[in-house]
Structures are given as structure tokens and as C-alpha cells.
Structure 1
Amino acid sequence: MATKLESPPLASKDERTAAPVLNRWPLLAVSAGVTALLLALSGRYGYHVDELYNRVSGQHLAWGLVDQPPLVSLIAWIQTTLLRDTLTAFRVVPALLAGVVVWVAGLIARELGGRGGAQVFAAAATGSTVVTLNAGHVLTTNIPDLVAWVTLGWLVIRLLRTRDARLWLAIGVVTGVGLLAKNLIVLLLLSVLVGVLALGPRDVLRSRHLWIGAALAALIAAPAVVWQVTHGWPAVEMSEALSTALGSDSRVAFLPFQLLMIGLFLAPVWIAGLVALLRRAEWREYRSIGFAYLFMVVLLIAIGGKPEYPGGLQVVLLAAGSVVVAQWARTTVKRSLAGVALVGNVLLSAVLMLPVLPITVYGSNPVLEQLGVFQHDQSGWPQLAQQVAAVPLSPEERARAVIYANHYGTAGALDRYGPENGLPRVYSGHNSFADFGVPTDDKTVVIAVGVNRETFGALFARCEPRGTYVNDLPVADRGAEFLVCSGPREPWAQMWTKLRWIGFSCPYTSEVVTAKSEKGCWSE
């Protein structure tokens, strides 16, 4: 006879181990300090390539995009509407959310029995990581996704400690909001579920609150899912394109990259947290969290996923390791070593992720040139717009001209800086930028930036080069060709189906990687 699923009774206060006192004000100081640092540096360099896309997507709000759910576009719209359309204003929310990540890391340490020092160290360590500074500096899907992952880690650990089944409702809400930012959070849920099934405690799964939480997550995420269904699941094609672009490189780099996501100086801390979660007798209830990370790593290596995907779960392990470090650092020498590691990590992470050095340093130093891709992706956009504006056009051509950009970053840059340089409207067929508008048929002249001359030129009666993008820095679009094409062979609406594409551009060669490509972007 079938039995009715019921929530396990809540543990009494005497049956539960009370968490240590929250070290509220020091935690708040660390969180505010990270936010203040990010805001202070937010106006340096320029927009990141993905920010330029998100800025334009905020002007075309929908329940989904080809390459991401709608939350970041909504954040972009709110910021530019309330705080003006400036670089610093565009980065307020990421900086605030980074402070939230730092705060929650302290809460995780507290749930695991960490007292004041452990909580503060967990917060400071989290604020010094590559993953936090990367996500908190720019407005991309990474920052709300990181908040969701770390918050879920805290809620699950609290659920395992207290057995308070009502926490499934909060987990459901966070999951739903996370799905509106990035679909990747499903990977975390799957890994934690496998961990709990493998190592327990399985009784937390026998609760009606679990199903209510799942319903809440589904309800919150439903509009984005419906959008995907009604648009033919473009996320699947995007995932295939990503896998094609990465090739086998991601598998080779996966394990070494795990050391970089937190930072080399604090790698021993999160690794200690992983080991302690799996081996400490007093943390037996939390073994599933450590197992979840191992399962996730094996799964991602098997399917060729990006090595930065487990970064949010590594922050949870870092918080656990901070408790271990606080218990270990009983002497002045050990506390000094922990402090040196923390300072070294923040300095290294800042150099890699924040605009703390002159941008020319990243272009002139051979080592930093390779490590500074994130910095270079924030550089050169105003210069690009100025050089496109200098493309020679006759008055007749200019009156009938539009701009077509190879990828969404170039298109977003020309949308942002084009008006002040007198440029016409910019279009692109890349990802959801293709849905932001199609030229009208009276626009018979196109300034094409970074396209393949042979394939793009075949769509027009005449096509000739009129310059290239010149920049002293090794930015991705350096050397992109400017073509002036005229006489479209078909109406724009028909031609647009040939110009739409989902995937990743190869800016140096003007090649394209899509889900149907036979070779990756960097293949010979």
C-alpha cells in the first residue's frame, strides 16, 4: 500500500547544534569593502564585450535570449534607466552582488561551526578570489549566477544541519531566480542531489516541502522556459556551438584551471575544505557537498564543459576550508602565513581581474598579455567607433548607409559610441542581436565590420575594403576589415536569414564557429 510522503519532524532546539554567534559587523565591513573597491575601479578601461551586448539587450527586453535567460538584460535596463547610461552606473549592481557573495561565504563558515575569525576569513578570502572579482567587476550572467550558487550552498548546508524542511522553499525560490540568470544552476542541483543520494542524509529528500520548492522554482523560471520552447530551444544550439569551440582544450586545462579560479595562494584552503567535508567525523552530514564537487568535475571533464563552471561551488569549499584554517592558525606564525596567503591572493586576483594597472602594461608584458584577455576585452571600443566613423563615404552613400557588425560585441560597441561619432544604426546577425532589428530596404549601403569578405560580399553587387581596425593593444578585433558594400541582391528580410548565426566569432580571421561548424575557432 502506498504511503503518504510527509515532512520529517523539525528537530528540537536541544537536538540541533546551534550555530556560533554571527560576527555581523566585521562581516559587513568586509562585504562593504569589496563592494567599495569594485565601485572605485568600475570606471576604468571600458565596457566588457559581453556588457556591450547586455546593454543593448536591455533596450529589447524579452523573456529570453538565444544565449542566456532574461535577468541580466533586465538588470541592464534598470541600471541605465535609473542611474544613467554610464560605465560606472552599469556596474553598480555587480559590485553590490559581489558584496552579497562575500557575506554569504561568512554565513557558510558559521553553519559549519566557524566562529568570528573563521567567518571573517571566509568572507575576506572569498572577496580575494578570481571568481568573485571577475563576476563582480562587470555585468554579465556570472554575477547573479555566482550569488545563486553560493546562496544555495549555504541553504543546503543549513538544511543538512537543522533538518528544517521549510528551507526547501527558499532553495526553490533561489533556484528559480538563478534559472532566470543562467541555466548552469541545474548542474549544481544535479551534483548535490547525487551527493545526497550517494552519501546521505537521504531523509532530507522525504519532504513535501521539497516538492513545493521545486514547484516554486518551476513557476519562477516558467516564462524563460516557455520562451525557449516557442523559439525552438536555441539554448541547445548555443550549447553545441560552445562545445565545438572548446574542443578538447577544456579537458586538458580543466584540473589546472581549478587552482586558478580561487587563486593560487588560497588553493590549499579550498582543497582543505574539500578534504574536511569528506573526512571529518563532525561534518559527516555535509559529505554530500564535497562529493558534489567531485562528481561535477568528473561530469564536466566527460562532456567537455568549461573549467570555470564549478567556481561557485569552490567558493563554498573555500568557506569550509576557512573554518579549518581558523582552527589550525593557533600560533602567531600560522596566523601570519594565513594572512600572507590572503594578501597574496587578493593582489594576484586584482592584477588578473581588475583594472589596477595601466592597460598598456597588459599589452607590453608577454606574460600579462596572455593572462590579460579579460582586460583586453574591456579596451579599444571607442577607438573602434572612431575608426569606423572615418571610413570614407560619399554623401549619397552616407544617406543610405547602415552598419553590420560581425559579432555582438562589435555591434554593442558601435551602438554605444556610434551616435557621438555620427554613425548610422548598427545591426548584427549574431545570437539575439539578430532580433534587435533588420535594416529597411531603402538602406542599400553597408559598412561591414569584421565579416568574411567572400561570404558577406556575395550578398551584394559591389563590395570593397576601406580600412582595418588598428590598435596597439592585442584586442580581439584588431585587424578587423572594414568593407563598404552596396546593391543588396535580395530584400533585407530575405537576406537576414543568411546573416543570422549562433555561436562564436573568430575575430582574427573573420571565420565563424557555429553549432554546425566542422572545426573550432582556433583550429588549423
Structure 2
Amino acid sequence: MDVPAAPPNAVSPRTCVTLLGVAVAVRLALALGTDVYFDEAYYWQWARHLAWGYFDHPPLIAWWIAAVGIRPAALLCGAGTAAALWGLARDVHGSREAAWRAAALWSVLPVATMTGVLATPDAPLLLFWTLALWALWRERWVLAGLASGLALLSKYPAVLIALAFLVTAVRQRRLPAGAWVTALLGVLLFLPVVLWNAHREWVGFAFQLRHGLSGSGQLKFFAEFLGGQLALGGPVLLPLALVYAVRGPREQFLLRAATLIPLLFFGYAALRARGEANWPAAAYLTTCVGVAGMRPVWFRVAAFSGLAIVLVMSSHLLFPVVRLPRDIPLARTHGWDVLSALAEPGRLFPGAQAQRVAVVYAPNYQYASQAARYSGLPADTAGDVRKSQYDLWPEPPLAPGQDALYYAEGFKPPASLTSRFTSVEGPVELTSDFRGRRVHTFQVWWLRGAHPESSLSPRGPP
């Protein structure tokens, strides 16, 4: 039987498979070749204290890390997201070739690489966001409810799926009866998170509203947000997302709404407060489905420009050549393993005994989490810093006469902490290098002999 010839300039399946293979290789190299990112260490701390909610986000990333580990959690979610996107694109376009194009394009985007390596709430959100849209597209209402509920258990912005569906229902003047089953299941799955917040003065909801929508707004914040979109999606995917959302096929209105609504919502948030580039990541999932149905040239431009950014950043994180005056990406992904020395304070301070050190304090939740991860000691925040889950957990026990350590980069131990001890020694430097680059110079203080009468919180004033 003759096989029909591919249309001129079509993207071959071999190209898509090659791109997917490169994406897998890059993710494995980054997962094995970098230290645990400090946000990952924070969520790992959550996984040691499983609950229905946390100060910053819903609980699913903590449960997932507890089940399979830090980097496996992200890698598995990333693989599942690509597979779910393949299925969604196949059903939308009625074509396996388009499905391979959508999955391949997504896999080589910088945002997909980041969320496929780092175990953050975005990793399960993107997986269940895609599964929810796929189920809604096929009108599998029970599956849509389960996937939507799990998306809400991943990150609060998953509620935008419901908004996209409602806008679509209004546009089509049709609300299927099964959609009520979807809504009921989603609400039931999310209800424990609501109850957890209700018993804690709505701390999680309040934090996210302040974090995303408070402030008077500055145009430079929006400019930063826009630059982040051009970096994480590649330089052409954001314009393609807007074109698809506004002028895409009418029958794909649900996917177009799921593209435009996150971009508009978080774009507005960036006008109010300093946003984060990853916030509208879900919009690019449906963009990839849309681009898979466009002219092949747009697929090639989007895929290879995104891949170029991925390869440049990955090579810098693994084999840095360019020297940057303030290399934040390298510092955040390397050099944290030296914190294992905190478990042996005698190496830093002659006379310090490991059994007397009860806790390691740090200036923020990221540093406290890295100390706990690499030293194995209890950790806590100290000073007037951004509130976090550490403010909800009980302070680590500190018996009279016990010692503690404080470490930081560019901070000194606050008076609210040092006043609890009889003496303070230090600092001594604890440095770390990566391939000949100095990535960290930590300062460590030895806090000796906790006062029995001290009642001040090391975290500073409430």
C-alpha cells in the first residue's frame, strides 16, 4: 500500500522525536548535575510535615515529594504533562502528527524544562491542568472533576480552568449537565484545603492575594514580567499565544480561553505587584496545541528558539564558560552541599560539640530549608523576614544551655536571636566553588548557651 507523501515543508515525526529526546537528555542532566534548589528544599520540608495546606500553596507537591522524592517528582510530572498534551492535541486536531508537534514543542520550551526538573507546585499543576482540559474537551465529566480538583490541590490559580470553561459555556450558550458533576468533584477534593485555611485565619488565601495583587503598581514590574514571558516561553511563543487566543479556530474556543485568561490575569497582577515569570506557565500548554495546527514555519521558529535558550542556560549551569558579575542562576543551583559542615560544628569552631547544637537559624525560609536538607539539623528562620510556613510550625526546641548556629550571606544574626544566648562567636566563612567559580561565601556564627529565661522569638516582631 502506498504511503501518502508528506505535505511540503511539513515537520517530520523524526524531528519531533529528536526534540523530545533532546528534552529528556537535558532534564536528566540538570536533575543529576545540580543541587537541590532552595524552593525545592522548602517543599521537601513540607513533605516532612504532611498536612492539608501550607502558608504558600496547597499540599500536593509535598505529598508527591514524600511519595517519590524531590527530582523524581518533577521528572514524572514533566513526562506526564507531555503525554497528556499529546492526547489533547490528537483529539483537538484529529491527527497524531499534530499531537507529536504539540508535545515536542512544549518539551523544548524553557518553562517546560524548568518545571520538568524542579519540584515546585507548577509541576503537578501543569500535569493536572492539561488532564482537566483534555477531559473537558472530551466531556468526560468525572475525570475532569478529579483532574480539576488535583490541579487545585497543586496551586490556587487552577481555578482559572473553571473560568475558561464558564466563558466557553457562555460563548456557546451551552452548559452540559455533566459539568455540575465536574464542579462538585473539584470542590469536594479542594474542600480540605479550604477548611485548613479557615482554621488558620485564611493564611494561604490571604498570602496569595497580597503576593499577587497588592501594591500600587509600577510599569517596570510589568516590563519585568513581559521579559520573563519572552524568556520562559521563548521569544516568539508569547506573540503566537496572543494570535492563537484571538484568532484561533472557533471550535477551539475552550483552549483559546485557557490561553488568554492566565496571560490577562497575571499580566494585570504584574501591573499591581512584582510578578514572577512562571505564573502564567499553563497558558503555553494550549498555545503549543494551537501552534501544532499552524503553518510548520511557526512550529520550527518557536521550537528551535526555545531549544536554543534551553541549551544555553543548561550548558551554563553544567559547564559555565561566561563569567557573570552576579551569577544568580549558578548560585541557586550549586554549592549548597557544603552546608553539611553545619552538622559538624567543630570543623568551624574549635570546641563546638555537635550534640550541643540544637538548631540552625537562617535569615529566610530558603536558607533555613537548605540547612535542614544538607545538615540534617532542625532549622528555623530568625529576624524580621518574609512570613512563611516556618511561622506556622512550632519553633524547634531549645533547652537552657544548648547551642545554635546562624548562617547567612550578607546578613548578621538579629538581636532577637542573639539576646537568647550568653555569647556569640564568629563569623567564620564557609565557601563553596563550582568548576573554579566561587558560588557561595556563607558566614556562620556560633550561638553559645541559651538563656533559660529567654522568651523572645528569633523570628522578630510579629
Fold agreement, TM-score > 0.5: yes
> What letter is aligned with 1:380?
G
Q: 1:186 to 1:39 in 2, by over 3 A?
A: same
Name the CA shift for 1:109/1:315 in 2 (closer, same or farther; >3 Å). same
Query: Which residue identity lines up with residue 116 of structure 1 in the other structure?
Result: R
The residue number in structure 1 matching 2:366 is 409
Aligned mate of 2:308, from 340, 347, 358: 347
2:128 and 2:147 in contact (8 A); partners too:
yes
* Comparing 120-129 and 258-267, the one that deviates more: 258-267
1:296 aligns with 2:258: no
Amino acid in structure 2 at the alignment position of 1:38: R
Match for 1:313: what amino acid?
A: A
Residues 67-466 of structure 1 aligned to structure 2 (within 5 Å): 67-80=56-69, 90-113=70-93, 115-156=95-136, 158-159=137-138, 164=139, 167-194=140-167, 196-197=169-170, 200-204=171-175, 207-239=176-208, 242-243=211-212, 248=218, 249-267=220-238, 269-277=240-248, 280=249, 283=252, 288-289=257-258, 291-293=260-262, 295-304=264-273, 305-324=275-294, 328-329=295-296, 334=297, 338-339=299-300, 341-352=302-313, 354=314, 357-358=317-318, 360-361=320-321, 364-365=323-324, 373-386=328-341, 389=345, 390-395=347-352, 399=356, 401-419=358-376, 425-428=378-381, 431-434=388-391, 435=393, 438-442=396-400, 444-450=402-408, 452-455=412-415, 456-466=417-427
Hey, what does 2:6 align to over in structure 1?
Answer: none
Q: Which residue of 1 aligns with 2:443?
A: 481
Contact 1:51–1:140 (Cα < 8 Å) also in 2:
yes
TM-score (norm 1): 0.72
User: Which of 1 and 2 has higher RCO (CA within 8 Å, sep 6+)?
Assistant: 1
Hey, what's the Cα distance between the residues in 1 that align with 2:439 and 2:217?
22
Structure 1 Cα separation of the partners of residues 438 and 245 of structure 2:
37
Matching residue's letter, 1:466? P
Deviation at 1:321, TM superposition (A): 1.7
Question: Counterparts of 1:348 and 1:316 in 2: how far apart (Å)?
Answer: 21
Count residues with an aligned counterpart: 437
Against the structure 1 CA distance between its residues 24 and 319, is the aligned structure 2 distance closer, same or farther, given a 3 Å change threshold? same
Provide Cα deviations, 1:48-84, integer angstroms capped at 9, x if missing partner: 111212223222212222122221111111124xxxx
Secondary structure at the residue paired with 1:172? helix
Q: 1:212 to 1:303 in 2, by over 3 A?
A: farther
Stretches of structure 2 lacking an aligned partner (at least 5 in a row)? 1-11
Distance 1:290 1:139 in 2: 23
- Give the direction of change, closer, same or farther, for the CA distance of 1:293–1:77 in structure 2 (3 Å limit): closer
Q: Please tell me whether the aligned partners of residues 368 and 381 of structure 2 are also in contact (alpha carbons under 8 angstroms).
A: yes
Offset at 1:445?
1.9
| Cα distance change, pair 484–112 in 1 and its aligned pair in 2 (3 A) | same
Letter matched to residue 187 of structure 1 = L
Match of residue 8 from structure 2: none
Q: Which amino acid is 2:54 matched to?
A: L
The TM-score, its normalising length taken from structure 2, stands at 0.80
Q: Distance in 1 between matches of 2:216 and 2:442?
A: 23
CA positional deviation for 1:383: 2.1
The Cα offsets for residues 176-233 of structure 1, whole Å up to 9 and x where unpaired, read as 1112211121234335534543xx11312xx432222222112112222221111222
Shift of 1:40: 4.5
Distance 1:289 1:433, change over 3 A: closer
* Same amino acid, percent of matched pairs: 20
> In the TM superposition, what is the alpha-carbon distance from 1:449 to its structure 2 partner?
1.5
SS in 1 for 2:229: helix
In the alignment, the residues of structure 1 paired with residue 228 and residue 29 of structure 2 have an alpha-carbon distance, to the nearest angstrom, of 28
CA gap 1:45/1:286 in 2 versus in 1, 3 angstroms: closer
Q: What stretches of structure 1 of length at least 5 have no aligned partner?
A: 1-22, 81-89, 502-515, 517-524
How much does 1:129 deviate? 0.7
Q: By how many angstroms is 1:114 displaced?
A: 5.4
Structure 2 residue identity aligned to 1:184: P
Residue 235 of structure 1 aligns to a residue whose secondary structure is helix
Assess if the C-alpha contact under 8 Å between 2:217 and 2:272 holds in 1.
no
SS of the equivalent of 1:462 reads strand
Deviation at 1:36, TM superposition (A): 5.5
Q: Deviations over 1:237-287 (max 9, x none)?
A: 53366357997453232333322222125455434423432xx45656765
Whole-Å separation in 2 of the counterparts to 1:292 and 1:410: 35
Partner secondary structure for residue 310 of structure 1: coil
